[in-house]
Chain A
């Protein structure tokens, strides 16, 4: 099993237990403020929590947190930037230039100051900088909330390809159609528990 979560408990409630196989795309939906983002942050060990998580059989506690987060990577809904130019956030930068057009981003934007990017461009750049670091699992918090239909579909296509190549995806989304398009499994989050909605083939 790629990701095996057992009795994960913290601020959003719990205990949460579920598994994610390579290529799975788990879509979590539920009302705002119920703790979906906090659940993703807990999996990435960004907030205080208890429980066990195994990645390919290796327990989270046995490795340093930064090492864990490089493999189980959280992408926040609101992106943060620490340098002036977009390129300074990209590592390796060559991969970013190659992949940017797939998300509808012009390669020149990599040399632009972050402040010049639109909200939608920033959101896709934040996703891009995570993807090029090649994590085993991506935890995406409303990855297309600021995007138009065309960009949303471009992001979904790329995510589907990543899943086909073996990346595990956990996506928080309010978009019903999006969930239908990308999910291999859907859950609804309510007051500290996850309920299965349906199971796709």
Chain B
């Protein structure tokens, strides 16, 4: 199997599409050319940078360096989860709940995969560990964001219903159970959609990459299946942990609803 190495010329040709889109935006005054170009430039710089960093990390094979890179990724994901919410908990607990749930789920699933199925040598081999961390982290981040967004909004909207259940003597977890389940479902819908459509409608990104890079289709498919299972596990765990952490934050030891701890994001 021979990986294809693209030349700068190859990339320059395809970058023409971005420029074409930007030109279209100018002509039709869609007003997205600036953000389009900026996003494209960011993407190129970020990915090239990551390429260089990973090349260095892969060569050194230092476990601490691997952990450091993973930690930076986790920090960025935690920030993104928090930043995407319209409703907020207090500054620290806000990022701690979303980020904590994301990192926790990613850690559990990644380590599980590394020590049981993938088993690289050594088990922390950055060539396996870092891409795996990245793909699980990204997916868990999406699920947690969606679940939290749904949960925060529904708790605010359904305040009277929750209060009614508490007043009738239901414990906090029971009073919030319906909304929690709904939020976790919301967090998992994209994952279920992707699994259903996988191969038939869309070719998953990892598999596409491996096929383009010359891997045997069946091996690529099996690898993709394993990844999908890991992603489902991570997303489920992440959404569940995030929602229950928020329940814990939005209620108190006397089973009261504490919406005073939830603030709308300042514009």
Known A-B contacts A79-B160, A80-B158, A80-B159; A73 and B256 likewise in contact (beta carbons under 8 Å): no
Q: Which of B161, B162, B254 has the most CB of A within 10 A?
A: B254
* Any A CB within 8 A of the CB of B209: no
* Any A CB within 8 A of the CB of B255: yes
A78 to B159, CA, bound (A): 11
Interface size, chain A (Cβ < 8 Å): 26
Known A-B contacts A74-B167, A76-B167, A129-B168; A66 and B255 likewise in contact (beta carbons under 8 Å): yes
CB of A133 within 8 A of CB of B168, answer yes
In the complex, what residue of chain A is closest to B174 when comparing beta carbons?
A: A66
Known A-B contacts A65-B254, A65-B256; A73 and B168 likewise in contact (beta carbons under 8 Å): yes
Known A-B contacts A46-B256, A47-B256, A48-B256; A66 and B161 likewise in contact (beta carbons under 8 Å): no
Task: From the candidates B165, B171, B252, name the one contacting A82 in the complex (CB within 8 A).
Answer: B165
CB of B169 within 8 A of CB of A67, answer yes
In the complex, what residue of chain B is closest to A47 when comparing beta carbons?
A: B256
In the complex, what residue of chain B is closest to A71 when comparing beta carbons?
A: B169
Which residues of chain B have C-beta atoms less than 8 A from A137's C-beta?
A: none
Task: From the candidates B159, B160, B164, B171, name the one contacting A66 in the complex (CB within 8 A).
Answer: B171
A39 to B119, CA, bound (A): 62
Measured CB to CB, the closest approach of chain B to A166, in angstroms, equals 19
Task: From the candidates B158, B160, B167, name the one contacting A44 in the complex (CB within 8 A).
Answer: B167
* Any A CB within 8 A of the CB of B163: yes
Task: From the candidates B159, B166, B178, name the one contacting A69 in the complex (CB within 8 A).
Answer: B166
CB of B169 within 8 A of CB of A80, answer no
* Any B CB within 8 A of the CB of A33: no
CB of A82 within 8 A of CB of B158, answer yes
Task: From the candidates B159, B164, B254, name the one contacting A79 in the complex (CB within 8 A).
Answer: B164
Which residues of chain A have C-beta atoms less than 8 A from B254's C-beta?
A: 45, 65
* Any B CB within 8 A of the CB of A81: yes
Task: From the candidates A69, A80, A130, name the one contacting B160 in the complex (CB within 8 A).
Answer: A80
A78 to B167, CA, bound (A): 13
CB of B167 within 8 A of CB of A73, answer yes
CB of A80 within 8 A of CB of B170, answer no
CB of B167 within 8 A of CB of A75, answer yes
CB of B158 within 8 A of CB of A66, answer no
* Any B CB within 8 A of the CB of A57: no
In the complex, what residue of chain B is closest to A126 when comparing beta carbons?
A: B164
Residue-wise, chain A 38-72 has the 8 Å CB interface mask toward B (1 for contact) of 00000011111000000000000000111111110
Measured CB to CB, the closest approach of chain A to B100, in angstroms, equals 26
CB of B256 within 8 A of CB of A80, answer no
A48 to B252, CA, bound (A): 9
A84 to B37, CA, bound (A): 49
Which residues of chain B have C-beta atoms less than 8 A from A64's C-beta?
A: 171, 255
A44 to B254, CA, bound (A): 10
Residue-wise, chain A 122-165 has the 8 Å CB interface mask toward B (1 for contact) of 00001001100100000000000000000000000000000000
21 A-B pairs (CB sep. < 8 Å): A45-B254, A46-B163, A46-B256, A48-B252, A65-B254, A66-B255, A67-B169, A68-B169, A69-B167, A70-B168, A71-B169, A80-B159, A80-B160, A80-B162, A81-B164, A82-B162, A82-B164, A129-B168, A130-B167, A130-B168, A133-B168
6 further contact pairs, Cβ within 8 A, besides A70-B169, A78-B160, A130-B167: A44-B167, A46-B167, A66-B166, A73-B169, A80-B159, A133-B168
